[in-house]
Structure 1
Amino acid sequence: MNWIKKNWSNVLFVVLIALLVIPQTSTPIKAFVSGLFAFSPSVQDVEDREVLQSYDWQLVDMNGTQVDLNTFRGKKVLVNFWATWCPPCIAEIPSLQALYDDYSGKVVFLFVTNDDKATVEKFITKHGYTFPIYHEVSPAPAELQSSALPTTYLINEKGEILIDKTGAADWNSEQVRSLLE
């Protein structure tokens, strides 16, 4: 007992490292830490905004229905690239679900993943998420291509990319909500 009192910080460090090494506990811990540092994303300055040059992008939803981005030309669109194994993705999803709950009638939400259907279904059922999930059938337009997860884009009715955010963010913020109105 005396040894533990003297070395409590070393014991705590070893326990923390063990929790981060074990796959079942490391992802939730990393997601929690990512969530602590997730802030509202920055809006692109008007002169720095990219504009979608092509809406040629085909997706398929979890039911097998094909969707074409051309269908959403002239609408606000939020595109989120994510994965079930990605701690920053897991950290930001609750804030995106809150936006989806409040704006699904006004904004098109495209949650795009490469994870297999069974893994995604298990994940969304476990967490109670209701947003629509898609897989890519064709490559995304050049302006929406990224190799990092999560990456989220908010596109206005003119095709301007208002937000281009890589990494976890708090999407359920007044700033983002004002852009969705």
Structure 2
Amino acid sequence: MKFSKDKIVNLVLLLAAGIVLFTPLGFPVKVFVNKLISFAPSEVAEEERSILKDYQWSLVAPENKSINFKEFQNQVVVVNFWATWCPPCVAEMPDFQALYDEYGTKVVFLFVTNEDKAVVDTFMKKKSFTLPVYYPQNATPAVLKSSAIPATFVIDKSGEIVIDKTGAADWNSESTRALLDRLLLN
């Protein structure tokens, strides 16, 4: 059986796509593509906003102590559900790091994962991220549940969910910073 030039090109393209889609070699490509297609997240329209009423959520904090989410009531909070194996999650982490570097003393940042702590610690150290990672100890409040990651919620001081974003986003955008500034003033 003789292969034509077109068949060989198609076979090479199929092989390359398979490598990108189904092997660890494709992970950096997926991260790069997600970064390229990320835009600033949009605010939820005021009439469509959910309100967080249930602050009973136990988490293990970065210093390995148990905390209750209720401690963050009446504050501006950014909750991000993520994993080290998730390309869109990894793609948005540098933006979150920049945002955290600027707003980390004014806004509560919770980067929540179910992954093994040793895996997460290795990832954070390798990437030089200083984001505060939390581990859930019980069920997440219903209004913050998502069937996909990354999932990010920006909650204002009154408990309104101002941003409810699934998928990668440009979190270090001017519009996100302006929103946080506005929420901090209210």
Both proteins in one fold, TM over 0.5 = yes
Alpha-carbon distance in structure 2 between the residues aligned to 1:21 and 1:47: 40
Q: Counterparts of 1:62 and 1:104 in 2: how far apart (Å)?
A: 14
Residue 34 of structure 2 corresponds to residue 34 of structure 1: yes
CA RMSD of superposed structures (Å): 1.9
Instruction: Report SS of the residue matched to 1:135.
Output: strand
2: CA distance between counterparts of 1:135 and 1:86?
17
Residue type of the alignment partner of 2:69: L
Secondary structure of 1:30's counterpart equals helix
Match of 1:163 in 2: 163
TM-superposition CA deviations, 1:19-58 (whole Å, max 9, x none) = 3156331211111111111100110111111110111111
State the match for 2:184 in structure 1: none
Superposed, 1:142-181 pairs within 5 Å as 142-181=142-181
* In 1, Cα distance between equivalents of 2:38 and 2:168: 5
Task: Give the match for residue 136 of structure 1.
Answer: 136
User: Which structure 1 segments of 5+ residues have no match?
Assistant: none
Give the match for residue 76 of structure 1: 76
CA contact 1:79–1:110 (8 Å) conserved in 2: yes
SS of alignment partner, residue 179 of structure 2: helix
What is the identity percentage for the equivalent residue pairs of Structure 1 and Structure 2?
Answer: 47
Indicate the SS of the match to 1:20: helix
Shift of 1:160: 0.4
Which residue identity does 2:24 align to in structure 1?
Q
Aligned length, in residue pairs: 179
Please tell me the residue identity of whatever aligns with 1:90. Answer: V
Superposed CA offset, 1:101-154 (max 9, x none): 000011000000011011101111110000100110111111101121000000
Question: 1:66 is matched with which residue?
Answer: 66
* Residue of structure 1 in register with 2:108 after alignment: 108
Find the aligned partners of 1:47 and 1:55 in 2 and give their Cα distance.
22
Q: Which amino acid aligns with 1:69?
A: F
**Residue 51 of structure 1: aligned partner:** 51
Matches within 5 A, 1:83-102: 83-102=83-102
In 2: Cα distance, 1:21 partner to 1:39 partner: 23
* TM-score, structure 2 normalization: 0.89
* 8 Å contact from structure 1 (residues 62, 117) kept in 2: no
User: In structure 1, what is the Cα distance between the partners aligned to 2:39 and 2:6?
Assistant: 38
Q: CA deviation at 1:91?
A: 0.7
Q: Secondary structure of the equivalent of 1:159?
A: coil
> What's the CA shift string for 1:59-96, capped at 9, x where partnerless?
00243111211111110000000000001101111111
